Structure 1
Amino acid sequence: MLSALGEEKMAKEHLRSLFEMQRPDGFVGHMNYWKRLWPGRVTDFLQLRPRDVLRLYKPHMSALVQPPIVAQAVLRVYRYSHDEAFLTEMLPKLKKYYKWLAENRDFEGEGLLSIITPFESGMDWKASYDPLLKYDRGKAGPLLFWKVLQVDAHNFFYNYNLQAIYRSNRFIVKDAAFNTVYAQNLEAMAELCRLAGDKDGPGFLEKAEQTEQSILRHMYDEQDAAFYDLHGHQFQKLRVRTGTIFFPVVLKSVPDEVCRNVLERHLLHKGSFHVPYPVPSLATDEPAFNPDGSLYIWRGPTWVVFNWFMQGYLQEKGYRQEANKLLMSVKRLITKSGFREYYNPFTGKGHGAEEFTWSGLVVDMINRQQEEGAKERGGSLNRQGSQPFCGGSSL
């Protein structure tokens, strides 16, 4: 987002800050406590390693991870700044981080990373986790809060020993969006290595290919034309149609026919994701669907990040009209309700935090559209009706 605004210096500062407390083994926590050392909520407290609880007098990290999008962020900053010193500074840290993920969260060696709590997916109360949490009441309520809290308590009392947590099999989830982002960022790592003249680039490409093939083999459901999250040691599908069931279509290894089936069934035509303000975070006919503001987010409302994620892909593949609809939806939402955390997909009413940064992704979406238009006017590229349907995203 900062690179889209031209805030190169600030973007670099944020990335450096993120890695400031990186552990020697490469781990980077999803939350850094710099000045407010005490967690503000009981859930934050339980997301620390027990030994870190005894050191709350100094800066520390949580014990959790988030979708590993940082390689793409560094690549975007480099492409904007061409700062080789920054690339040289960040690449060793990134290599250690992605090595830690592969060694500690790919439990089965299939290239798929597991999360150990709903708070690691970036979509905290995602409805696809309900069956695993044994929550069968549809719309979220206090009972769901306690069930999720129990997962974090379980991990805390296991001292965040990942092998022990895996063996317990309480909450081991391979999230479709999380792993799509992982595959994209392994490719970004290969590109960063190439730009830096680092020999490890091919290894990252191999890992990306393995992850993509495993996503297709394990997550794709041909009958439902959907990519589902998985749980447990046996890779069981969590058959709830969240807004991430079509995310993996952006990956290069996904066949054309699969891409067409997924998008035409769920995104491009009328169906359970067809609303006035797309893209809803949950299919409208799922029992858990709630389009309004709630403590339990990601269970129906529209988040701008979904539109941003898919717009780049649709635009690149020649679906300019559909890509433009996603951009226009975001513009209408912001005009109506401002830069909010999320929005009602039927009315456009804003909910959650105000002046929320993610909604500022509209700037990047506008830049993409303008860049694509400039290419076409220059005659260098005309993608309308282009095939094949699939391939790499421009994210």
Structure 2
Amino acid sequence: MEKNAYELLLQNARQGKTSEGKEYFYICPAPGKYPHQWLWDSCFHAIVMKHFNVELAEKEMITLLSMVQEDGFLPCTIFWDANFFVRFFNNFLYSSKYFNRITQPPVVGISLEKIYSKTKNKQFLERTLPLAKKYYLWLMKKRDIDNDGLVSVIHPFETGADECIVFDKIYGLKNPTTLTIYYYLLKNLRQCKRLDWDLEKISKEEVFNVESVGFNCIYAQGLRSLSRLFSEVDNDKDARFFNKKANATEKVIFEKCYDNVNDIFLDLAFRDKLKVPVVSFFSLMPLILDNIDPVIADFVVKEHLLNPKEFWSPYPIPSVSMSDPSFSSSGTTLLWRGPTWINVNWFIFNGLKKHGYHDVAKEILKKTIELVAKSGFREFYNPFTGEGMRTKDYGWSTLIVDMIKDISKSD
């Protein structure tokens, strides 16, 4: 499995030089369907690649962070070698030929820390930390306009879970058709473009302003990782700053996103911070946080994750609670409405280990190994049958390697 994973990553690797002479190296999610560089995909690919070739893992992150803009913005998607038509369409949607104008879950800090833990290469940190810092400061300044510690997303694509059922509720849709969902996603992009991708303007017009639990948990852990990495380079000031920010974001997630009625974490929508009544994998993500209350963690694990009516399917973890009326185990057209994704399993696996749920973590690892053994490195999987779906040779499904290595190390 490890050999196949390494071969897949090398097969999906792209390198070259732009017309301006800028060199790049990245691993695309899947040749053909997903040939470009995506923010959180790159972070996942680098995390796996560090087990095989640390130089390539570092190059992936250096390439990604080279696209941090002057104000600190880091794009979701970068079109290094796209053709004219891709650039034309992207310019139509985003007013930019070379990258889009939305971001993605900030796995950057986590990825840098995992690579450094393997290499102890301080030169790598000296090259990447200033850019990573710039990006996280952009998130603080531009995406936390009420200064409460939670950052907002301005479009479902920014969560990485593009067409998740959560967003049906936010758009006010009930049993929408595929065409309806695509219409609202495109309309949302056009509105954001009209408002220059500015959260303050977008928030005032109530276009789309969501404090996603999943995004904020990844953000908090990224802050925590940056804090530890700045300690490694003897920058105590930044280490203290990012640790303080991580603590603040964690605290607000526990205070504002936890729904006491259903004992689960929920996303918050718009300026009124309305809890979105959909239980998805986002609701489990606080398990990755360092300081989750053990009582709450226990309830999330035992009453939700291990609940056979919610997330404990034959091949966990489904992306949406199986009790949701809109849950679907297939996903050939609309994504993130039920199927199992390996990056979700990777996050929750790490959270379970962190908080002492080793047996549950091992069971998720076992089931994830079965998925890959049965269906290969697919984009996602049927949570009941384990059938692999949509794209083959999908990059981040190689995260199973990091899970295997992690459990071997702890055993």
TM-score by length of 2: 0.85
3-state secondary structure, aligned to 1:112? coil
Aligned residues of 1:4 and 1:364 also touching (Cα < 8 A): no
Does residue 1:248 correspond to 2:286, yes or no?
Answer: yes
Q: Counterparts of 1:39 and 1:158 in 2: how far apart (Å)?
A: 25
Cα drift, residue 43 of structure 1: 7.9
Q: Does 1:127 align with 2:173?
A: no
The superposition leaves residues 205-228 of structure 1 with CA deviations (integer Å, 9 ceiling, x where unpaired) of 111111011101110012211110
Q: Which amino acid aligns with 1:152?
A: L
- Where 2:160 maps in the other structure, the secondary structure is coil
Structure 1 residues 372 and 109: alpha-carbon distance in aligned structure 2, compared to 1, 3 A threshold: same
* Structure 2 equivalent of residue 308 of structure 1: 346
Other-structure match for 2:201: 164
1:148 aligns with 2:185: yes
Aligned-pair distance for 1:306?
Answer: 1.5
What residue in structure 1 maps to residue 63 of structure 2? 17
Contact 1:2–1:10 (Cα < 8 Å) also in 2: no
Aligned length: 364
Deviation at 1:328, TM superposition (A): 1.0
Q: Report what 2:372 is aligned to.
A: 334
The 3 A distance-change label for structure 1 pair 181 and 67 is same
Measured against aligned partners, the alpha-carbon deviations of 1:62-93 in whole angstroms (never above 9, x if no partner) come to 11110111011111111111111111111111
Note if contact 1:288-1:299 (Cα within 8 Å) is conserved in structure 2: yes
Listed one character per residue, the Cα deviations across residues 152-193 of structure 1 (whole Å, up to 9, x for unaligned) are 111112222332112112110111110000000101111111
Aligned to 1:377: none
* Matched residue type, 1:166: S
| Structure 2 partner of 1:176 | 213
Counterpart Cα distance in 1 of 2:102 and 2:351: 29
Gaps of 5+ in 1: 374-395
What is the CA–CA distance in structure 1 between the aligned matches of 2:57 and 2:168, rounded to whole Å?
36
For residue 37 of structure 1, report the CA deviation from its aligned partner.
5.2
Partner SS state of residue 283, structure 2: coil
Amino acid at match of 2:145: F
In 2 relative to 1, CA 214–38 (structure 1 residues): closer, same or farther, beyond 3 Å?
farther
- Given that 2:152 and 2:212 are in contact with CA atoms closer than 8 Å, whether structure 1 keeps it comes out as yes
Q: Distance in 2 between matches of 1:95 and 1:319?
A: 32
Does residue 351 in structure 1 map to residue 382 in structure 2? no
The range that moved more, 242-251 or 277-286, is 242-251
Structure 2 residues without counterparts, runs of 5 or longer:
1-46
TM-score by length of 1: 0.88
CA distance in 2, matches of 1:131, 1:269: 23
Check whether the contact 1:266–1:273 (CA below 8 A) recurs between aligned residues: yes
For residues 197 and 249 of structure 1, the distance between their equivalents in structure 2, rounded to whole angstroms, comes to 30
Quick one: distance in 1 between partners of 2:199 and 2:293? 34
Cα distance in 1 for residues equivalent to 2:290 and 2:65? 29
- The CA deviation at 1:322 is 1.0
CA distance in 2, matches of 1:42, 1:132: 30
Residue 116 of structure 1 corresponds to 154
Q: Please identify, of 20-29 and 314-323, the stretch whose mean Cα deviation from structure 2 is larger.
A: 314-323
**TM-superposition CA deviations, 1:84-107 (whole Å, max 9, x none):** 111111111111111111000011
Instruction: Indicate yes or no: 2:129 matched with 1:91.
Output: yes
Could you list the per-position Cα deviations for residues 118-146 of structure 1 after superposition, in whole angstroms to 9, with x for gaps in the alignment? Answer: 110011011111111121016x5211111
The 1:330–1:313 alpha-carbon spacing in structure 2 relative to 1, beyond 3 Å, is same
Conserved in 2, the CA contact under 8 Å of 1:158 and 1:165? yes
Aligned to 1:34: 80
The reply to whether residue 67 of structure 1 matches residue 105 of structure 2 is yes
Structure-1 separation of matches of 2:89 and 2:172: 19
Distance (whole Å) between structure 2 residues aligned to residue 81 and residue 320 of structure 1: 27
Of residues 156-165 and 146-155 in structure 1, the stretch that sits farther from structure 2 once superposed is 156-165
Query: What amino acid sits opposite 1:260 in the alignment?
Result: D
Counterparts of 2:93 and 2:318 in 1: how far apart (Å)?
28
CA distance in 2, matches of 1:26, 1:45: 21
Instruction: Specify which structure has the higher proportion of helix.
Output: 2
1:372 partner letter: S
Cα offset, 1:278, TM superposition: 0.3
Query: Could you tell me which residue of structure 1 aligns to residue 334 of structure 2?
Result: 296
| Mean CA deviation greater in 153-162 or 104-113 | 153-162
User: Could you say what the CA RMSD is over the residues aligned between the two structures, in angstroms?
Assistant: 1.7
> Residue in 2 aligned with 1:239?
277
Q: Distance in 1 between matches of 2:266 and 2:386?
A: 27
1:18–1:196: structure 2 CA closer, same or farther, 3 Å change rule?
Answer: same
Distance of aligned partners of 1:203 and 1:340 in 2 relative to their CA distance in 1, 3 Å threshold: same
**SS of aligned partner of 1:64:** coil
- d(CA) in 2 for partners of 1:351, 1:331: 16
| Stretch deviating more after TM superposition (313-322 or 68-77) | 313-322
Distance 1:108-1:195 versus aligned 2 partners, 3 A rule: same
